[in-house]
Structure 1
Amino acid sequence: MTIRNWVKFAFWALLIGGIVNAVASLIIRWDFYQPYLVNGEFVEFLAAVVWNIVLGITMSVMAQAGFFAYLTLHQVGVNVFRSLTLWNWVQILLIIIVLVDIIIFRFAPGANTASDWFIYGFLLIVLIGAAFATALKKVKMTQKPHVLISTVFFMIVVTSLEWIIALMGRQENIDVYVALLLFPLVAVNAYQILMLPKYNTQSEIDRKNLEERRKARKETTKTAKA
């Protein structure tokens, strides 16, 4: 990918993370925002929104780091197991392990009521549902069925590792951040896995156009000298 296209790719990822987190916070943390509006403290309200945008951008940076780490991991996995089919089975096993870990070691210790389990169950459905929706879209875009497992792996396993900063917390209001931070991570990761081919293709086109311009300049220079 060219630097120009990488900057575009990263910029949109940052923007998506910030906007999604801000919107999610208005829903999940409405009790935090409401007093500002009731008391007419609009500057404080906007400051809170901006703070959540910055938080979303921070999550986007983490998601971008995780995405490029995954690209390396995927290539290493294929090379180590010398078979895409075998690597896919390993990824399925890791998906199951991560989901079990989330339920038993992350959700269960903090779930004291049925309401807690309902919230955690909803978040798990969001994670898994987004993973399969993104994977099906990826298959449709590429016409390559084998990318289904690797996309689901990325959306579940890598997103969960990025989400761990909230999942491992035990503060009084940690559930708010467990719910809040999932949405920008899922949105940014879906964007990255779906849009990377577009930017790679555009980078190839840009390189060809650059080479053609260089050749044209050389021809012009030769003609001028002649």
Structure 2
Amino acid sequence: MNSRKVVFLFFTTLLIGSVSGAIVGFILDYEMYAEGSFLNLVFGVVWLLGISAAFTLISQMGFFAYLTVHRFGLGLFKSHKLWNAVQLILIAFVIFDLIYFRYIAFVEEGQTIVGYMVMPILLLAYGLVVAYLKARDTHEGAFVPALFFMVVVTTIEWVPALTVNDPKWLWLYLTPLLVANTYQLLILHRLTNQPVK
């Protein structure tokens, strides 16, 4: 992949992630941004774009870090099957942590663990869809790494919002991460011109 493609990937990811986060943030706090003066709206949208751009940059760092970790894992375990098994175990561990540890940390009287299962299960379901698309467009061996990236790496990037446990902040942070991670994952093989196996 040449430098032009890297620059293209960087700026298109930044744009898509920033806009997606700004749209969701605007919808979540519509009254706050829509009420008042026109300047309030403009500054609100600029703030949303800026904060979403920051989250998108975190996504980009996570993506390139995972590409390195993936190569390291393949070299360490000397086998795609063994490395995939390790990744599946880590996916299960992360989903469990997202449910159980958030429940332990934030449960209030009258709440059950079921409410804390919704977001992790939705993230896993979304990751399965994206991994399927990646495997369909490339080869079946891409399924587990894509699922790992979408679930585990996205969760690591999402940690600052998870510690706050504010629903609006969770969605505002997660949206640009998911959109940017999905875009990067699904466009990479097109940019590198790898033939479909």
Which among 152, 157, 167 is matched to residue 152 of structure 2?
157
Query: 1:198 — aligned with what?
Result: 190
1:38-187 matches, within 5 Å, as 39=36, 41-112=37-108, 114=111, 118=115, 120-142=116-138, 144-169=139-164, 174-187=166-179
Amino acid at match of 1:197: H
| Distance across 2 between alignment mates of 1:199 and 1:148 | 19
List alignment gaps of at least 5 residues for structure 1: 203-226
- For residue 139 of structure 1, report the CA deviation from its aligned partner: 1.1
Task: Report SS of the residue matched to 1:169.
Answer: coil
Query: 2:22 — aligned with what?
Result: 22
- For residue 121 of structure 1, report the CA deviation from its aligned partner: 4.0
Task: Report SS of the residue matched to 2:192.
Answer: helix
**Count of aligned pairs:** 193
Per-residue Cα deviation, 1:119-144 (whole angstroms, up to 9, x for no partner): x54432431122111111111111x1
Amino acid at match of 2:181: N
Which among 149, 169, 180 is matched to residue 188 of structure 1?
180
| Distance across 2 between alignment mates of 1:98 and 1:115 | 20
Give the TM-score taking structure 2 as reference length. 0.90
Query: 1:212 — aligned with what?
Result: none
List alignment gaps of at least 5 residues for structure 2: none
Identity of aligned residues (%): 34
Partners of 1:22 and 1:56 within 8 A in 2 = yes
| Distance across 2 between alignment mates of 1:117 and 1:180 | 22
| Distance across 2 between alignment mates of 1:129 and 1:192 | 18
- For residue 200 of structure 1, report the CA deviation from its aligned partner: 1.4
Change over 3 Å in CA distance of 1:193–1:107 after alignment to 2: farther
- For residue 117 of structure 1, report the CA deviation from its aligned partner: 5.7
Computing the radius of gyration from Cα coordinates, the structure with the larger value is: 1
Give the TM-score taking structure 1 as reference length. 0.79
| Distance across 2 between alignment mates of 1:189 and 1:136 | 15
| Distance across 2 between alignment mates of 1:167 and 1:30 | 23
